[in-house]
Amino acid sequence: MTKTRRTAILALAAACLCLALAACNMTGRPVTTTQPTVPATEPFLPSESFPASDFASEPGTMEGFTAEGGTNESTRPVAVNPAGFPSREILRGSPDPAAGTYTGLKPLPARPLSIADPNNSKGFPTKKVEHAFGVAENEAPHRISVDFQNFFESKRYAAVAYDTRSAGKVLYLTFDCGYENGNTAKILDVLKAKKVPAAFFCTVDEMKGAPEIVARMINEGHIVGNHSVTHPSFAEIGRTRMAEEVLGADNFLRRNFGYSAPFFRFPMGEYNESALDAVASLGFTSVFWSAAYADWDVNAQKGAQYALDTVLARIHPGAILLLHSISSDNAAAMADIIDGARTMGYAFHELTDLPQLRS
């Protein structure tokens, strides 16, 4: 067989395999609707690969997961409140100029990379779910967001799409940070001037690529949430890999920033029920969203006015607003978004204020 013919046969086989895999991944969402949904996920553009020693509890132990029945921190049952949510406590090391961290806080102890029930022996569903939210109108959450929130509550998952319990017009501002392109600092400037709290869900690429920005988030009182190490689809990986992704990012924050927050956002909003259980078992609340727009494509920005009009048209009482920090439109419109929301009667709250976490 000639080299050219062998190459052609291999290429054809690879194409057939890709088509088969694509067919297997065509799964539905846990809600039925004829309304168009709007995706709110960003492409992940990793700048480098990261050595295992950056995230492991001990150098070189990325593969050293504990089997079922282990007694370390990651496999102990996580204490939850009556609603099923783990602690909302944010951990910070004590200030120490000689700490050697980006924040000047002493490093926190790293967590062992392990998880309870690594083989999903309890049989949590593994069907892929893609979070959706619909477009809110007249300051009311879309039915899709309502259905997702009802689903989380009915199954007692430690997950939240929006605040259903606060009486006033509260708003939770969150950002996904997959990588840095210079706009996050501008957003932080506005948040500081306007005295608005936010949560930034960061991948390790963001932490490594812009540590001074992440340190500024922490030192200025914002929440730095967990967005995984490598931004994979949690619907397509096992529970052991989930622990590697979640605790790997958490350990990077602990070692290099002296910080840990119990909030996680699924990359691309993709997960399954086993992933919801796994993340909660590690001590994290899964934070979704009920308001967002297609802001993540840096080559398709539509201007600050478009960002302002779109965001203000989609917020509602209790909304968790998802924006992307790489958007130049968001950076340019941030001050007006805050002012406009306040004019509409909204108050910005921290994720730790969510009533579900206080039950």
Q: Which amino acid is present at 98?
A: A
Do residues 275 and 228 touch, judged by C-beta distance below 8 A? no
Q: Which two tokens stand for residue 221?
A: 């009182």
The catalytic residue among 176, 205, 250, 329 is 176
Q: What is the DSSP string of 153-196?
A: HHTT-SEESB-SS-SS-EEEEEEEESS--S-HHHHHHHHHHHT-
Half-sphere exposure for 66 (CA within 13 Å, toward CB): 18
E strand residue ranges, the chain: 91-92, 129-130, 159-160, 170-177, 199-202, 223-226, 259-260, 263-264, 270-271, 285-287, 319-324, 347-349
Q: Which amino acid is present at 211?
A: P
Half-sphere exposure for 1 (CA within 13 Å, toward CB): 8
Phi-psi label, residue 117: left if phi above 0, alpha if psi -120 to 50, beta otherwise: left
The catalytic residue among 142, 227, 231, 324 is 324
CA 78 from centroid of its chain's CA atoms: 20
Q: Which two tokens stand for residue 202?
A: 């960061």
Is 250 a residue of the active site? no
| Opening angle at CA 337, ends 331 and 338, nearest 5 | 105
**Of all helices (H) and strands (E), which one includes residue 151?**
helix 143-154
197 phi and psi, to 5 degrees? -80, 150
At CB < 8 A and 24+ separation, what contacts does 71-75 make?
A: 72/112, 72/114, 73/111, 73/112, 74/111, 74/112, 74/113, 74/114, 74/115, 74/116, 74/243, 74/247, 74/282, 75/114, 75/115, 75/116
Is 324 a residue of the active site? yes
Do residues 27 and 128 touch, judged by C-beta distance below 8 A? yes
Which residues have a catalytic role annotated?
A: 176, 324
